[in-house]
Amino acid sequence: MTAINTKIKLKKGDVLKHTFFKVRPGEGAVEFARRYFPINVEYHDALEIAAAVIDGHFEGVDDPKVRRCAHCGYYYRDKTKNNSSVTCSKECGTGKDIVLKAWRREVRKVGKVRRLSWLDLHYASSYQGKPLEYPFWSSDWHMFEYDRKRKVYSFGDDFEQYVAQQKRKAEMGGKRKTAEQIDYDGYNVPRNIHVKIGGHVGYGKVTVIKKGHGEVEADLLARYGPKKLQQERIRAQMAALGGYKI
């Protein structure tokens, strides 16, 4: 298998044709062009100056540090010590890398057999290279399965019910729910509840005893008695409703 060379190094002054004058000028290009606009310049004069700066008809264009940006295509002045930059700003450098990465991705696809998608297998949209006027699915099940995998709506669900669910989810904040503080009858201050489980054995060690509901009930009844246990349960219920602290 022959290795595909996807390495590319832009030379000084080279501009990507996909972005040449198609994007806004970077910060370096704007800063460079400002020096050629006098204060209180008239509108028509500003248009002529801008056209001259864009076309390269200005004083100082022969400076080796002045060149076109590889991304936006406008002139800028290189501020690096070794005169090695090819873009006028950090944003243009990021845009240049994005374009080159997409180009490398397309080059690697050449010669590779693309895996057939669900639409390729079960959706007829063209015939002999010509688009169909009325595309169709091979079956209703494939159509609903395609929608279900993309979370449009499940098979058999009511569409109005689906829309209502999505609207309710959006009103609640989507997947990331916003923090909500609930007022418990005017008492929303955090309450500290201390519960002792088991007993201490030595210093810094705790023995945890696991018991079932019946065993815990029998233990509490033998330790406090029915009257004391009933009082403590009422006290716990009042604390849960915000009546008082435990």
Does residue 191 contact residue 236 with C-beta atoms inside 8 Å?
Answer: no
- Chain-centroid distance of CA 173 in Å reads 16
Tokens describing residue 134 = 């009325």
Question: For position 233, what pLDDT does the model report?
Answer: 81
pLDDT (0 to 100) of residue 20? 92
Name the nearest CA neighbour of 103 among 2, 4, 1, 24.
4
Q: What is the CA radius of gyration of the chain?
A: 36
- Beta-bridge mates of residue 123: 137
Model pLDDT, residue 240: 72
Residues of the chain with pLDDT under 50: 1, 155, 199-202, 246
How confident is the model at residue 184, as a pLDDT? 53
pLDDT at 155: 47
Task: Give DSSP secondary structure letters for 45-67.
Answer: HHHHHHHHHHHT-STTTT-TTEE
176 burial (CB, 10 Å; 0-12 / 13-18 / 19+) is exposed
What's this model's pTM, rounded to 2 decimal places? Answer: 0.47
Which bin fits 238, alpha (ψ -120 to 50), beta or left (φ > 0)? alpha
Contacts of 145 (CB under 8 A, 6+ apart): 118, 155
pLDDT of amino acid 28: 94
CA distances for 48 relative to 44, 55, 94, angstroms: 7, 11, 31
CB distance 91 to 26 below 8 Å = yes
Residues 99, 16: contact at Cβ < 8 Å?
A: yes
Tokens encoding 201: 């054995």
